[in-house]
Amino acid sequence: MKYRYCPICTNELKRVFLDGRERQGCESCGFIHYVNPSPAAAMVLFEKQDVLLVKRRFEPRSGFWSLPAGFIEADETPEQAAIREVKEETGLDVRINQLVDVHSGCHAMKKRIVLVVYWGEIEGGSLKAGDDALEALFFPIDNLPPEMAFNSHLKALEKTISLRSQLQGG
């Protein structure tokens, strides 16, 4: 995103070259506008041989299925965000078993995202779609819906299924 004025001193921003990249900077106060990726967190949850997915209510990829996931708030850890997103989207209370993977991708709005994916366990609550989910359902791991929203979620799911299989002895 390009800005015209400095958010610190309101002078016009200029093109500056820093760290081998062109950026926007303020010659008056020294402000540099860094365009960094947004952090997000997701959770993989199983019930026997089924995995929990949510149907997205909003863009990007409205009507497509994904892991429960969302952006990390400024006052949260990635773990807290993953647990919060599951509760908001599915009504379930969960705990984290382990970190599965970290993916880098591009949001539909051309914004870079870093997705931190956890494998968790359900501890309570009642399954119901909420917040920005149209539906929350368990799907057999060998029969996922074809309308998956994000490739990164599929990769994380495949990795978690592999880890789970290794831990269960095959």
pLDDT, averaged across the chain: 93
Which of the following is catalytic: 79, 135, 147, 158? 135
Specify whether 64 is located in the same domain as 111.
yes
Q: Could you write out the DSSP letters of every residue in the chain?
A: ---SB-TTT-PBPEEEEETTEEEEE-TTT--EE--PPEEEEEEEEEETTEEEEEEESSSSSTT-EE-SEEEPPTT--HHHHHHHHHHHHH-EEEEEEEEEEEEEEE-TTS-EEEEEEEEEEEEEE-----TTEEEEEEEETTS--S-BS-HHHHHHHHHHHHHHHHHTT-
| pLDDT at 99 exceeding the cut of 60 | yes
Specify whether 17 is located in the same domain as 91.
no
Q: Give residue-wise pLDDT tens across range 21-63.
A: 999 999 999 999 998 899 999 999 999 999 999 999 998 889 9
135 is catalytic: yes
Q: Give residue-wise pLDDT tens across range 109-142.
A: 567 899 999 999 999 999 999 988 999 999 999 9
Q: Give residue-wise pLDDT tens across range 62-98.
A: 999 999 999 999 999 999 999 999 999 999 999 999 9
Q: Which residue range forms the structural domain that includes residue 102?
A: 38-167
Specify whether 76 is located in the same domain as 147.
yes
| Domains of the chain: total | 2
Specify whether 27 is located in the same domain as 78.
no
